[in-house]
A and B are shown apart, each in its own frame.
Chain A
Amino acid sequence: MYEITEKQELAHTVYLYKIKAPLIAKKRRAGQFVVLRMNEHGERIPLTIVDSDEKAGTITIIVQEVGKSTAILGDMGAGDSILDVVGPLGKPTHIENFGVAVCVGGGIGTAPVLPIAKALKAAGNKVISIIGARTKGLLILEKEMKEASDELWVTTDDGSCGHHGFVTQVLQNFINEGMKIGCVVGIGPVPMMRAVANTTRPYKLLTVVSLNPIMVDGTGMCGSCRVTIGRKNQFVCVDGPEFNGHEVDFDELIMRNRSYIKEEKSAMEEFTYHEGDKCYERCDK
């Protein structure tokens, strides 16, 4: 059992947790993730390690409620325990001094961008970050990203905060202005990552994206997470999660992520779950 030591609400349905997992806290590096299973009946879901505190022996994760498993986690708070936490999984981000690194985070994707921005900064890069959300209330980690970056740009789809529009428009402006960019890191919803890759493709800018396919074990044993990268099948949990954005078959990833939409919907509709002899029911009314 892995105890939750702290919980914060960052935005509507977005929570930050600190979880006691001393060995993972010691080992993890930017770009890696954990797989969690909340209870005996639960599924295994992957979540990025956003930060860690070696002294306290905790790791930090940030999660958005999108379905049943994340909703179960959303109902948990400090003092509760998660049944299984496995990690650190995946390859760490390749970090070097690229000169100027642009870090682009869309929605919940800002969470995985944060540790990478920090690591790039520590390696001597000038870090320029762009974070975006649908609306002001959903914007997360603005303060933390500001601290980790030399410059921070904010966008919202509805103009309620910062630049009115998409993160890619700001990125395009940098390119148009002739900024010498050494590397672009883009993480967020798959369509946003595809847009980032499409923005940088004509200029052959090194572009790293972090993929979020459906996983089961997270250790390379099942192939559920396979995605076509440059015509080759790769297992995101062991070969990734980060890949060259110009080689990713995003359409296939979007398609595969819809494998279980029917089942996911019915799971939310019949949302009851058990913990010992306690029975929880949840209504979306």
Chain B
Amino acid sequence: MSGPKDAKPKQGGRQSMAEQPPLERIRNFFEVPLGYTPEQAMLEASRCIQCKKPLCVGGCPVNINIPWFVRLIAEGKFSEAARKIKETNGLPAVCGRVCPQEDQCEKVCIIGKKGDPVSIGRLERFAADYEREHGEAELPEIPKWTGKRAAVVGAGPAGLTVASDLVKKGHKVTVFEALHTAGGVLMYGIPEFRLPKKIVQSEVEFLKRMGVEIVLNAVVGKLETIDELLADGYGAVFVGSGAGLPNFMNLSGENLIGVYSANEYLTRVNLMKAYLFPEFDTPVIRGRKVTVFGGGNTAMDSARTALRLCPEEVTIVYRRSREELPVRVEEVHHGEEEGLRFQFLTAPKRFTGDRDGRLIAVECVKMVLGEPDESGRRRPSEVKGSEFQIETDVAIVAIGNGANPLIPQTTPDIKVNKWGNITVDQDTGRTSKKGVFSGGDIVRGGATVILAMGDGRRAADSMHEYLMTGAW
């Protein structure tokens, strides 16, 4: 299938969104879905029947008042709709793009019982884009300074949400970020063609205009420890340092040239802009045949990035079957349109290289699915003697991330579980250390943007209470 999707406004039924045609988009890094026109947005919004007890709100982890903002769009009050969303979600242009809506708000939308649900995510994106592009983002009112300061470790979605909520309550907030850019995975992980970086940066700029101080290049634990921050006059600290430790498979040949962790591959391309090498200085090996191991968001983002860099062939190798793929259906669909191949029920055994240590092939083995394991998914096992070779010169290992160990290592009185995730009280985000709160991927392992933001919101509420009362 090629050529732009039919995206003309149509009466009745769900409005589709225009997209860059596959053959064009695999030659660039521009965003794939192009967004609704105002006319389409109003038509789509008018499909919402304004439920008295809207199920959709319960499906959204931050409980956006969905019927309200959707009604504002139907009435053509786009910037007002954006402001309504922002009361509970500080990053609507981001969430409207990357939320797994089909499993959250849209999954429970009543209209979805009979046909397609209201496109809540796309409407959210539309309102946020409209407000930004028309320069109508209004600063919320910032109350008088409470005299309290808070520190936030990590400028990912969790940390940015905490910062936004706490300045709105009148506290002074400083965010410490290890990298040279704020945004966390939104900047270094999720590719430009799914989430343009200028959108993330405009959200960050908005926070700065609200008075949040962001200190880049500041690795907490190395530059200053959490105890030092607490002693420096920060009354409370939020740890949102994410799950940034790449897992490897411990296979022979995994350190050959051309074998990347997804984190390294995506960081080189997104954060360091290796796709613009040599205009940008950081290189990445493009390869002729790329193989990606894993089946989640990270694997799919790596593969779709590779499709744009590698001229010949990109394959995802996944040890279970298509039904078990944890990635969003929409992304699989996008990938396949772009020429992505899948090799299901297959697992890698070892990598082989040439004399210079450059990857040339990966040996794989076929798998079968057996009885369900404790996660409820059927456990894959090897088919003896089914080994075969896949020729490949770039391999990307996308089998998940562990918890970033730096904070727990330098702050031993923060309790972690056996996987190294910080343990918190679920309702308040309190850690085992007085004055220190946490949330997002460092607590949950790999989760989602909106869950990280939900954690941030809850933690900010209890941080506010702690800052004002001192009660722990």
Q: Which of B199-239 contact A (CB under 8 A)?
A: 216-219, 222-224
1/0 per residue B161-188: CB within 8 Å of A? Answer: 0000000000000000011100000001
| A216 and B264 alpha carbons, distance in the complex (Å) | 8
**Additional A-B contacts beyond A252-B255, A258-B356, A264-B283 (17; CB < 8 A):** A23-B223, A27-B222, A43-B280, A44-B180, A84-B180, A216-B267, A220-B245, A221-B245, A222-B261, A222-B264, A222-B267, A223-B246, A238-B406, A252-B357, A256-B357, A260-B283, A270-B278
- A-side contacts of B357, CB under 8 Å: 252, 255-256, 258
Residues of B within 8 A of A222 (CB): 246, 261, 263-264, 267
Give A contacts to B, CB under 8 Å.
23-24, 27, 37, 41-44, 68-69, 83-89, 216-217, 219-224, 226-228, 233, 238, 252, 255-256, 258-260, 263-264, 266-267, 270
Interface of A is mostly: mixed
CB distance from A67 to the nearest CB of B (A): 9
Q: Decide if A228 touches B255 in the complex (CB within 8 Å).
A: yes
Contact A41 B248 (CB under 8 A): no
Please measure, in the bound complex, the distance between the C-alpha atom of A68 and the C-alpha atom of B405, giving whole angstroms.
33
B404 interfacial by beta-carbon distance below 8 Å: yes
In the complex, what distance in Å separates the CA atom of A43 from the CA atom of B283?
Answer: 9
Residues of B within 8 A of A216 (CB): 264, 267-268, 272, 282
B2 contact set on A, CB distance < 8 A = none
Task: Flag whether B279 is at the interface (Cβ < 8 A).
Answer: yes
B residues less than 8 Å from A84 (CB atoms): 180, 216-217
Residue from A23, A43, A220 within 8 A of B224 (CB atoms): A23
Residues in A with CB closer than 8 Å to B264 are 216, 222-224
Query: When chains A and B are docked, how far (Å) is the Cα of A238 from the Cα of B222?
Result: 11
- Interface hits, B77-100 → A, CB 8 Å: none
Q: Is the CB of A83 within 8 A of B180?
A: yes
What are 10 contact pairs spanning A and B, CB under 8 A? A23-B223, A23-B224, A85-B217, A87-B219, A221-B263, A222-B246, A255-B257, A260-B283, A263-B277, A264-B283
Q: Are B267 and A221 in contact (CB under 8 A)?
A: yes
Name the CB-closest residue of A to B276.
A41
**Shortest Cβ distance from residue B327 to the other chain A in the assembled complex, whole angstroms:** 22
Q: A171 to chain B: closest CB distance in Å? A: 29
Neighbouring A residues of B277 by C-beta, 8 Å: 263, 267
Chain A-chain B contacts (Cβ-Cβ < 8 Å), number:
110
Q: Within 8 Å of chain A (Cβ to Cβ): is B386?
A: no
Q: A68 — which chain B residues lie within 8 A by C-beta?
A: 281
Assess whether B332 is interfacial by the CB under 8 Å rule: no
Contact indicator A217/B281 (Cβ below 8 Å): no
Q: B285 near A: Cβ within 8 Å?
A: yes
**Which residue of chain A lies nearest to B263 when distances are taken between CB atoms in the complex?**
A222
Residues of B within 8 A of A89 (CB): 219, 222
Q: Which residues of A contact B179 (CB under 8 A)?
A: 217, 219
A267 touches B281 (CB 8 A): yes
A263 contact set on B, CB distance < 8 A: 277-278, 283
**CB of A126 to closest CB in B, whole Å:** 32
Check if B267 sits within 8 Å of A256, measured CB to CB: no
Which residues on A sit within 8 Å (CB–CB) of B244?
Answer: 219-221
Cβ contact of A37, chosen from B180, B218, B245, B283, cutoff 8 A = B180
Which chain B residue shows the least CB distance to A264? B283
Partner of A256 from B219, B250, B255, B263 at Cβ < 8 Å: B255
Asked if A221 meets B223 with Cβ closer than 8 Å, knowing A43-B272, A84-B216, the reply is: no
From B260, B267, B278, B405, A220 is in contact (CB under 8 Å) with: B405
Q: What is the bound-complex CA distance between A259 and B394, given in angstroms? A: 12
Given contacts A23-B223, A220-B244, A256-B357, contact A226 B255 (CB under 8 A): yes
Q: How far is the CA of A259 from the CA of B260 in the complex (A)?
A: 11
Chain A residue contacts of B279, Cβ below 8 A: 41
Is the Cβ of A27 less than 8 Å from the Cβ of B223? yes
Asked if B281 and A43 make an inter-chain contact with CB atoms under 8 angstroms apart, the answer reads yes
Q: Which of B268-305 contact A (CB under 8 A)?
A: 268, 272-273, 277-283, 285
In the bound complex, how far is the Cα of B246 from the Cα of A226, in angstroms?
A: 11
Expressed in whole angstroms, the minimum distance between the Cβ of A78 and any Cβ of chain B is 21
Instruction: Name the residue among B250, B272, B285, B405 with the largest chain A CB count within 10 angstroms.
Output: B272
Q: Is the CB of A258 within 8 A of B250?
A: no
Contact, CB under 8 Å: B255 / A88:
no
Top-8 shortest CB links A-B = A263-B283, A255-B357, A222-B264, A221-B244, A223-B261, A43-B281, A43-B282, A86-B217
Question: Closest approach, in angstroms, between the C-beta of A193 and any C-beta of chain B?
Answer: 18
Closest residue of chain B to A90, judged by CB? B222
